[in-house]
């Protein structure tokens, strides 16, 4: 049940106001502008916002006051004056105030929305209270699970010590003070954790929406986050078996005549050794065209791909192949002619455009029609797309890949991706990059 505290004065002159649910209370102060969220039963302060800043191009406009603070449906709303008049001749018609909304989407989840038309970025800063922060990036910076001290962009991780591109991430963190914060954004962002007694995040959005999620237990915070963001895909049972691969099926043929024969030999060897195996996947290069990919086919070392897939199926195994949002060969020629590609030697497709999304999905159907049951999705965070698009595309590529498989196989398919952002987990599992083959890389960090 959502309840409100009655106003003690007219909203126009109120210095502060609060609303509450059965679990939480949020109190907003107008001068200086800030808000705090407390646990309803104990009055314990969970999180306090300290500053919000809007970026308009290179200029930063911090908010010092709020005005017109008033009750709204299930919460509060206010205006945030920015004092733009006379300071930005390039934006003479820009509105002089932003807006903020506070809404209880459920008793334990407070949604905060901050909006300013034309903003290139919105940054929120909170007081650090010594809590531990868990989440955001897959990679443990500094060897710590606790992200205190991290100051990093929210994007795929590059070539760090011990692992190459460990790039799964979500704009969500859980703390040791009974709350978590989930930013509902696929934009490029940045997190600064416990820096100078502050924790902040910024995203390249003009309308930023984030949820303050109360537990009190970690399990409850995760459950509520999962409801907001959507659950992970549940693979078919065969995907929980072992999946085998070689770095290059063309190498080390020994007594095999070609790569296709080597694949079947491997399957037979696994069976002879009584090693349970559910699938084999082929890494690039396995196709014709530049970089062993791009013509949506198999090269001459796989003379009869449909037979190879049937032979694996007869042995109780499925076939998966390497894919990525990278184009070469005939895909490059067609994509270039249609102006579907980002610039570059081995470019990616602009799949945020609906017509390009459908084009790439249609291309992948060439493999699906052969009977392939899934993909290992690579790349997407190595400069082939602009940083501003990276998070969005790391969801869209698994999504289009899953749709092409689902159209033919229902739920009987499996994918795993290296570069996966937040809601991509609805479509793909994750592989954690290329770990170093050293004792240091294998020990817990």
CATH class (in words) of the domain with range 2-229 = mainly beta
Alpha-carbon distance of 209 to 181, in angstroms, equals 11
pLDDT at 406 over 60: yes
Alpha-carbon distance of 356 to 375, in angstroms, equals 20
**12-35 tens-digit pLDDT:** 444 789 999 999 999 999 999 999
- The residue ranges of every structural domain in the chain are 2-229, 237-442
pLDDT at 185 over 50: yes
DSSP bridge partners of 198: 127, 195
pLDDT at 87 over 60: no
Mean pLDDT of 42-71: 94
pLDDT, residue 94, reads 64
Confidence of residue 3 (pLDDT cuts 50, 70, 90): very low
Q: Which residue has the higher pLDDT, 363 or 140?
A: 363
pLDDT at 376 over 80: yes
**215-242 tens-digit pLDDT:** 999 999 999 999 999 999 999 999 999 9
pLDDT at 5 over 60: no
Q: Which residue has the higher pLDDT, 434 or 106?
A: 106
Find the range with the poorest average confidence among 125-129, 201-205, 268-272, 287-291.
287-291
Whole-structure pTM value: 0.92
DSSP bridge partners of 26: 19, 37
CB atoms within 10 A of CB 265: 14
Same fold, 2-229 and 237-442: no
**29-40 tens-digit pLDDT:** 999 999 999 999
CB atoms within 10 A of CB 322: 19
Q: How many CA atoms lie within 13 A of 237 on its CB side?
A: 1
pLDDT at 143 over 90: no
**275-303 tens-digit pLDDT:** 999 999 999 999 998 889 989 999 999 99
Structure tokens at 388: 């501003």
Mean pLDDT of 245-262: 95
Confidence of residue 162 (pLDDT cuts 50, 70, 90): confident
pLDDT, residue 22, reads 97
pLDDT, residue 140, reads 85
CATH 3.40.630.10 is right for the domain spanning 237-442: no
Q: How far is CA 35 from the centre of its chain?
A: 28
pLDDT, residue 318, reads 98
Mean pLDDT of 360-385: 95
Confidence of residue 91 (pLDDT cuts 50, 70, 90): low
pLDDT at 2 over 70: no
Spatial CA neighbour of 171 closest among 380, 417, 424, 357: 424
């Amino acid at each position: 049940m959502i309840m409100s505290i009655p106003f003690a004065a007219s909203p126009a002159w109120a210095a502060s106001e609060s609303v509450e649910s059965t679990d939480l209370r949020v109190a907003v102060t107008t001068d200086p502008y800030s808000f705090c969220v407390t646990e309803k039963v104990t009055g314990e302060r969970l999180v306090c916002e300290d500053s919000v800043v809007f970026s308009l191009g290179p200029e930063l406009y911090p908010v010092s006051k709020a005005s017109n603070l008033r009750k709204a449906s299930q919460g509060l709303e206010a205006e945030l004056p920015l004092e733009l008049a006379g300071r930005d001749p390039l934006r003479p018609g820009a509105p002089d105030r932003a807006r903020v909304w506070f809404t209880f989407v459920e008793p334990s989840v407070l949604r905060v929305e901050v909006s300013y038309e034309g903003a290139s970025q919105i940054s929120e800063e909170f007081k650090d209270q010594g809590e531990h922060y868990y989440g955001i990036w897959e990679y443990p910076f500094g060897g710590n699970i606790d992200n205190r001290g991290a100051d990093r962009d929210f994007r795929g991780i590059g070539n760090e010590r011990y692992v190459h591109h460990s790039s799964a991430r979500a704009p969500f963190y859980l703390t040791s003070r009974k709350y978590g914060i989930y930013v509902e954004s696929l934009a490029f962002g940045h997190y600064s954790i416990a820096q100078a007694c502050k924790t902040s995040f910024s995203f390249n959005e003009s309308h930023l929406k984030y949820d303050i999620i109360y537990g009190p237990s970690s399990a409850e915070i995760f459950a509520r986050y999962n409801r907001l963001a959507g659950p992970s895909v549940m693979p078919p049972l065969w995907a929980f078996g072992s999946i085998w691969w070689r770095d290059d099926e063309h190498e080390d043929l020994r007594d095999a005549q070609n790569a296709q024969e080597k694949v079947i030999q491997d399957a037979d060897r696994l069976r002879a050794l009584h090693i349970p195996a559910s699938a084999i996947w082929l890494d690039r290069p396995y196709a014709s065209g530049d970089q062993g990919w791009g013509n949506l086919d198999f090269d001459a070392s796989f003379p009869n791909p449909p037979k190879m897939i049937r032979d694996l199926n007869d042995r109780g195994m499925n076939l998966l192949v390497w894919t990525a949002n990278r184009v070469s060969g005939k895909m490059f020629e067609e994509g270039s002619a249609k102006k579907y590609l980002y610039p570059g030697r081995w470019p990616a497709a602009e799949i945020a455009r609906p017509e390009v999304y459908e084009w790439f999905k249609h291309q992948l159907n060439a493999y699906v029609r052969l009977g392939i049951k899934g993909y290992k999705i690579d790349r997407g965070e190595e400069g082939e797309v602009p940083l501003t698009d990276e998070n969005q595309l790391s969801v869209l590529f698994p999504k289009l890949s899953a749709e092409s498989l689902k159209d033919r196989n229902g739920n009987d398919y499996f994918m795993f991706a290296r570069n996966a952002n937040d809601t991509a987990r609805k479509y793909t599992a994750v592989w954690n990059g290329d770990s170093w083959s050293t004792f240091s890389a294998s020990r817990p960090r």
